[in-house]
A and B are shown apart, each in its own frame.
Chain A
């Protein structure tokens, strides 16, 4: 027997006037798995999530959540999913308990279950002590945790998380990851968007890389890393002025080089130590002072660089890197 995928998107397109925010995105999320939509700001991640959660109507294409069509059966879709938006949309003037009451009652949770379910969630997200405080007084991490717990109050089988850890400190981020792993163990399907490659690597079974509204790669974290080559040598020169000379030198010995002027960093796809010592020798011979030279296992960051020619988290370094992408359609 084939099981219905938790989320299915086929050729989704969303245009806002002249701008195409999402340009033919397709993917499938099997039940109980975690899919990461990975891409820079303005790549179309939020717009995709808004279409899947019935907040935005696709210009064309088709999507199903828990087997229900997002355009034809929005009511059923809303009953099957939870959404944690980008900006921690909890009500600031309510207490945590009141927020849970509000969303719980509107989600259709019977009155008698509100209190026990809230207690359980507050405990689980370490918010019990702050339960009766107004959310305005909460820290960013607490807000996110509350946001997530309100999304979970009706135990939806599919959960959408739009940049769940953006703006959190590393510790809060780790805590949240732990909570998400727990949800997955219980069988919840997650679709999360992220700009952080590490996050996708940590949490996701499958990663869909999007850039400028298009899917540019799709696979498991391992598959994607394999695509980007086995390893790379990373060289950081001490003085900015030496960067282009070093780049030319490395190219002259027959290696591909990616330069990141702002970081004074050169990345060279490489097989192993032999290549690293060869590069080291050339640079040393030329007398270029170096801050750091090392062999790096490929990260998803390299994957991104490999696929798009720019890094995911950086501002575009040269003007040619279109600014339109940053203005993107996140609304």
Chain B
């Protein structure tokens, strides 16, 4: 940690300026991360349109699916809108990886990361700051969607603790996705490339699940894939905890029968896989 190590490293060079040089206290990892978070939040304040991806876009989805497709998708034991909201929330939180990736690629591209790395801070604070601000970013989206959901008829029917646990699972999933974002952000050379990746890989992945429609009516092989999709576990867990619809049917795959612990396990596994790869990619990009 840099917090307590020596202050102005008695500068051997340039005595005249060293004499007037103020005493420096390099920030700790926590302090520098918070400074980076604040900088990223100023960005959102200056460009509120950055929030479109977690506000207008998912709200549109809620409305489109609820009113356009809603009538033709039958959900047992629940109305479709109630079924839908947890799905769209999960999709939004899965996209938090791209908020990280786009922000990181942008900073790498514009030389901001280099600038920060030339400073006496813990280099992890660049990533920690990026992750925390993107979780805040996604949380704004979740809040907006919860409010929209309430408007269209979504309700939390479970207990308070269960409800909080569901939101906690969303954030945990977002945390795991951040590592994927750092990995993608470190590997891609432009924001456009990241966006291309998002629409060709991530977008379909969030549909290949129980997010928008029940898995029961899918072809059997597809149903297996969808039910093993980590996003499905998260969605099922939230539906269970919020009391939106019936529990997973008896013939659903094992993860959906134990959605809460499986979601936690998926998050740990994804973090364990993506975090080392992400750190390696970021460090690799920093060595050249």
A93 to B120, CA, bound (A): 23
- Across the interface, which residues of A come within 8 angstroms of B17, CB to CB? 155, 157, 186-188
A53 at the binding interface (Cβ < 8 Å): yes
A67 at the binding interface (Cβ < 8 Å): yes
Which stretch in B109-117, B177-185, B194-202 binds the other chain? B109-117
On whether the beta carbons of B121 and A106 are closer than 8 Å, the reply is yes
- Across the interface, which residues of B come within 8 angstroms of A79, CB to CB? 8-9, 24, 26, 120
B52 at the binding interface (Cβ < 8 Å): no
* Chain B, interface SS category: loop
Which stretch in B38-46, B91-99, B168-176 binds the other chain? B38-46
Nearest neighbor of B123 in chain A, beta-carbon distance: A74
On whether the beta carbons of A54 and B47 are closer than 8 Å, the reply is no
A92 to B43, CA, bound (A): 9
A134 at the binding interface (Cβ < 8 Å): yes
B14 at the binding interface (Cβ < 8 Å): yes
- Across the interface, which residues of B come within 8 angstroms of A134, CB to CB? 46
Interface residues of A in 63-90 (CB under 8 A from B): 66-68, 75-76, 78-83, 85-87, 89
B75 at the binding interface (Cβ < 8 Å): no
Q: Contact check: which of A66, A91, A110, A155 meets B12 at CB < 8 Å?
A: A66
Interface residues of A in 172-186 (CB under 8 A from B): 186
A109 to B25, CA, bound (A): 6
Interface residues of B in 5-24 (CB under 8 A from A): 5, 7-9, 11-18, 20-24
On whether the beta carbons of B11 and A157 are closer than 8 Å, the reply is yes
Binary contact track A46-61/B, C-beta < 8 Å → 1, others 0: 0000100111110000
A143 to B94, CA, bound (A): 37
Nearest neighbor of B18 in chain A, beta-carbon distance: A157
Q: Contact check: which of B5, B11, B117 meets A80 at CB < 8 Å?
A: B11
- Across the interface, which residues of A come within 8 angstroms of B36, CB to CB? 106
Binary contact track B34-60/A, C-beta < 8 Å → 1, others 0: 011001001100110000000000000
On whether the beta carbons of B35 and A108 are closer than 8 Å, the reply is no
Known: A54-B118, A106-B121. A189 touches B35 (CB 8 A): no
In order of increasing CB-CB distance, the 5 nearest A-B pairs are A187-B16, A157-B14, A89-B111, A108-B24, A108-B26
On whether the beta carbons of A80 and B24 are closer than 8 Å, the reply is no
- Across the interface, which residues of A come within 8 angstroms of B111, CB to CB? 85-87, 89
B2 at the binding interface (Cβ < 8 Å): yes
B70 at the binding interface (Cβ < 8 Å): no
* Chain A, interface SS category: loop
A301 to B116, CA, bound (A): 36
On whether the beta carbons of B14 and A188 are closer than 8 Å, the reply is yes
- Across the interface, which residues of A come within 8 angstroms of B251, CB to CB? none
Number of A-B contacts (CB under 8 A): 133
Q: Contact check: which of A4, A89, A94, A110 meets B13 at CB < 8 Å?
A: A4
Known: A53-B118, A55-B114, A186-B16. A75 touches B42 (CB 8 A): no
Nearest neighbor of B286 in chain A, beta-carbon distance: A55
- Across the interface, which residues of A come within 8 angstroms of B32, CB to CB? 105-106
Shortest CB-to-CB span from B191 to chain A, Å, is: 14
On whether the beta carbons of B13 and A31 are closer than 8 Å, the reply is yes
Total chain A interface residues with beta-carbon distance under 8 A: 52
On whether the beta carbons of A106 and B35 are closer than 8 Å, the reply is yes
A281 to B47, CA, bound (A): 69
Known: A158-B14, A187-B14. A105 touches B35 (CB 8 A): yes
B250 at the binding interface (Cβ < 8 Å): no
- Across the interface, which residues of A come within 8 angstroms of B117, CB to CB? 54-55
A331 to B114, CA, bound (A): 11
Nearest neighbor of B23 in chain A, beta-carbon distance: A110
On whether the beta carbons of A113 and B22 are closer than 8 Å, the reply is yes
A91 to B24, CA, bound (A): 23
Task: Indicate the member of A67, A102, A186 with the most B CB atoms within 10 Å.
Answer: A102
A79 to B18, CA, bound (A): 12
Known: A110-B22, A188-B14. A76 touches B9 (CB 8 A): yes
A6 to B12, CA, bound (A): 8
A155 to B16, CA, bound (A): 11
On whether the beta carbons of B27 and A105 are closer than 8 Å, the reply is yes
Shortest CB-to-CB span from A183 to chain B, Å, is: 9
Shortest CB-to-CB span from A136 to chain B, Å, is: 9
Known: A67-B13, A75-B120, A155-B20. A93 touches B43 (CB 8 A): yes
B119 at the binding interface (Cβ < 8 Å): yes
On whether the beta carbons of A93 and B11 are closer than 8 Å, the reply is no
- What would be 6 A-B contacts, judged by CB atoms less than 8 Å apart? A31-B15, A66-B13, A107-B119, A108-B120, A155-B22, A157-B21
- Across the interface, which residues of A come within 8 angstroms of B112, CB to CB? 89, 91
Task: Indicate the member of A3, A4, A108 with the most B CB atoms within 10 Å.
Answer: A108
A32 at the binding interface (Cβ < 8 Å): yes
Binary contact track A150-180/B, C-beta < 8 Å → 1, others 0: 0000110110000000000000000000000
Shortest CB-to-CB span from A86 to chain B, Å, is: 8
- Across the interface, which residues of B come within 8 angstroms of A155, CB to CB? 17, 20-22
